[in-house]
Amino acid sequence: MNWDIEAAAREQGKTVICGCDEAGRGPLAGPVFAAAVILPHGIEIPALNDSKKLTEKQREKLFDIITEVAVDYAVASASVEEIEEINILNASMLAMKRAVESLKNTPDYALIDGNIARGFDIDARPVIKGDALSPSIAAASILAKVSRDRYCMEMDALYPEYGFAKHKGYATKDHREAVLKYGASPVHRKSFLKKLLGE
């Protein structure tokens, strides 16, 4: 992974560049999390990659490294209620906007994973497959994923019958069967369950 995308932004006069990504658009439960990260330009972080291509152990290790070396970072979320009210795409954008706005070092440019970047108060560029192309976005993807996974571990302690520690809220066979057996928990996204529950 190289710094070409960040370097191109710097050539345009941008000086404080953050990467931003979300985690948890697909699951049946829990908030959508997002992270924004400003890395020292050109820093080499071994094994840095799209969070989906890493093991849980690798992500946890990189989480500690990223939070240590980053110039600045922030994690934010959009709640289940917000997902239900404004839909998952808009909630994802809201979580990412919150993460960017939570940075103490105000960025003048945001690189957003995906094909949409809207609602930001600074210049923002969508980067398709950005978590595999941009070190800043890859770092954000790891912070968002680990933060959401940790939330799911907490939910597993509250609602052990659903198995959140194992599936992290995704629609696995075990998770679907638990919902059919026990109904929806307070952290489930009801609109995501309509088909499953035959509503």
pLDDT digits (tens, 9 = 90+) for 167-199: 999 999 999 999 999 999 999 999 999 988 887
pLDDT of 56 reads 93
pLDDT at 155 over 90: yes
pLDDT grade, residue 123 (50/70/90)? very high
**For the segment 21-41, what is each residue's pLDDT rounded down to a tens digit?**
999 999 999 999 999 999 999
Summarize the confidence of residues 6-20 as an average pLDDT.
97
pLDDT at 85 > cutoff 80: yes
Full set of structural domains in the chain with CATH:
4-197 (3.30.420.10)
Q: What b-and-e string marks burial along 167-186, b requiring 16 or more CB atoms within 10 Å of the CB?
A: bbbebeeebbebbeeeebbe
User: 147 near 21, Cβ under 8 Å?
Assistant: no
Q: How confident is the model at residue 1 (pLDDT cuts 50, 70, 90)?
A: confident
Q: Is the pTM of this model over 0.85?
A: yes
Percent of the chain with pLDDT over 70: 100
Contact 20, 111 (CB under 8 A): yes
pLDDT for the residue 72: 98
Q: How far is CA 163 from CA 28, 168, 177, in A?
A: 12, 8, 11
